[in-house]
Structure 1
Amino acid sequence: MTFLRRPTWFAVALTVVGVLVFVRLGVWQLDRAGEKDELLRRFAASAAAGVEDFGMIAETPPVDRYPRLDLRGTFVPGHVYLLDDQTHAGQVGVHAYAPFAPDGKSRWLLVDLGFLPKERGANPRLPPLPTGETRVRGLYVPPPGVGIRMGGNPLPAQQGAEKSMVYVDLGEIGVDLARSLYPRVLLLDPDPATLYARDWTPGFMPPARHRAYAFQWFTFAFAALVIFVLLHRKRR
C-alpha cells in the first residue's frame, strides 16, 4: 500500500516543471562557473607567455589562449571610442579605444588604452595619442561581451573625433573608420607613466559565487519534491 494519496495532474505537472527549471538553472550556473575558471586561466597563462608572431594569429586567433603581442605602427589620429558606464576601483568611467595601424598590414587593430574615471559625471579629458612610429605591447583578446542590445548603440549617429558607445561592435567601428578591423582587440600592458588604469584582471562574478547559486537552485529542486510528498502524504 502506497503512503501517498493520488495527486492531481496539475500538482504533478507543477512539481515536474518546477524541478526541471530549478535543475536547469543550477546546471547553467555551473556552466558559468566553468567559463569563468577558463577565463581566469587564460589571463594567468598569458601574463607569463612569450610574444607571438602577429602575422600567424591576426586573422584566426587561437580560441584557447590570449596571445601576447609586440607591434610597431602608428595610432590613427582623429578617432577615439569611449565605452561608457565602466567601473574600476569603485569609480565610474570609460574605457578608451583607439585604432592602430600595424606596420605592413592593411587592416587596423583596435587598442584598449585603459580606464579613466569620469569628471563630475562628464567624460574625462583624454591624454593625447602618441604620434609617429609607436610600439604597443599587450594581450590580443576578444572584445568585451555585449549582452542584450537594448536600444541600440549610439555610435553610428555621432560626429567628431570622440564617440561614445555602450558596447564594442568591431563591425560598427570598422564602418565608422571605413577600414576593416582585426577580430580581436589589444589590451595594452600597464604603464606607470600613463593616466590610464590597466588592470586587466576580469572584474566579473567569481566562479565560487556561481557554484553557490547552483547549490541554491538544486536545493530549491529538492525542496519542491519534499513539498510534493508532504502535501500528498496519507494521514492516519
Structure 2
Amino acid sequence: MTRGKLWLFGLLAMIAVSVCVRLGIWQLDRSQERRLQNRVVSERGAMAPLSLAALRGQDTVVTHWRHVKVEAVADYAHEAVHATRSQGGSPGVHLLTPITAIDGSWGDTAILLVRGYVYSADARTIDHDKAREADTLSLDALVLSYPPARAERVTLPSNPRAVRLLDHDSLSRIVGRPLAPFLLLALGDTLVRDVTRPARIPPPSLSEGPHKSYAFQWFGFATVFLVGFVAFVRGRRGKR
C-alpha cells in the first residue's frame, strides 16, 4: 500500500470513528431528554386531576401530561381513526372521537379523545358501530399536545376519515367543528379482549429506553475502527 493510500485509509478510519462517537453522544443526549420527560410525567401525574373546564385557556405546555376527569358526550358520527397503529404486535387503528364537555365549558368546540386501539387487518378501516361505547363518557384521561405540523399528506385516499398524522387542522376539517388545541388519551384497561371493542392505549413508559446501550454500541464501534487502524499500521511497520 502506497503512502497516499495509507493516508486515505487513515482518513476514512477517522471519519468512521468521528461518526460513531457523534452517534453515541446523540444517544446519550436522547437518554437525558427521556429522563427529563419522565420526571415531568411523574410530577404531573401526581397532581390532582383537572376538569375539562379547567383546561380552557391553559397553555398546552403547562397542561401536557396532566390527568383529567372527563365527563362528556361522544360524537361517534364524526369519529376519525389514526391509521397504521399496532398494539400487542397486531395491526390496527387508534380511535379519534370528538367529545363535548357536559358542563358546556367548551361551547361548540370539540375535544379530540384518543379513545383506544381497535384491531384492523388493513390498519385503516373498522366497524365504527361495533367500537362504540356509551353516549356519555366518564373516564380518566391524559392531556397530550398535538405534534408539530408536517408538510405531508395527512389523510389516506382509501379512507377519508383515516389520518396518517395527528394534524390539528386536518382533523378539525374531518370532524367538521373547531377542535381544542390538545388531545386527550383515555386511560384504562389496555388488554385487547375483543378485536371489535377498543382497548385503552398504554400511557408513556417511564423507562429510560435503550439509548444508553445504543450509545455504548456506537462507542464500541468507534473503538474497533480506531484499534483496527492502529493495529494495521503497526503490522505494516513490523513487516518492513
**TM-score with structure 1 setting the length:** 0.75
Q: Deviation string for 1:181-204 (max 9, x for gaps)? A: 223210112169994211424379
For 1:213 and 1:221, the matched residues in 2 are separated by: 13
Q: Which residue of 2 aligns with 1:116?
A: 118
Change (3 A) 1:170 1:68: same
Q: Deviation string for 1:99-136 (max 9, x for gaps)? A: 122322243211011111226977432333543x6544
For 2:6 and 2:62, the matched residues in 1 are separated by: 51
CA contact (8 A) 2:71 2:139 kept: yes
Q: Give 1:73 shift.
A: 3.6
For 1:122 and 1:166, the matched residues in 2 are separated by: 9
Q: Which residue of 1 aligns with 2:222?
A: 221
**Is 2:60 aligned against 1:61?**
yes
For 2:157 and 2:181, the matched residues in 1 are separated by: 19
Q: Give 1:32 shift.
A: 2.5
Change (3 A) 1:114 1:41: farther
Name the structure, 1 or 2, with higher relative contact order (CA <8 Å, separation 6+).
1
**Is 2:41 aligned against 1:50?**
no
What letter is aligned with 1:85?
T
Q: Which residue of 1 aligns with 2:231?
A: 230
**Structure 2 unmatched ranges of 5 or more:** none
Q: Which has the higher helix share?
A: 2
Q: Give 1:92 shift.
A: 2.0
What letter is aligned with 1:210?
H
Q: Which residue of 2 aligns with 1:76?
A: 75
CA contact (8 A) 2:118 2:199 kept: yes
Q: Give 1:48 shift.
A: 3.9
What does residue range 92-111 of structure 1 map to in structure 2 within 5 Å? 92-102=91-101, 103-106=104-107, 107-111=109-113
Instruction: Determine what percentage of the aligned residue pairs are the same residue.
Output: 24
Q: Deviation string for 1:172-230 (max 9, x for gaps)? A: 111333433223210112169994211424379x6352211110101111222212222
**Structure 1 unmatched ranges of 5 or more:** none
Change (3 A) 1:199 1:75: closer
Number of corresponding residues? 225
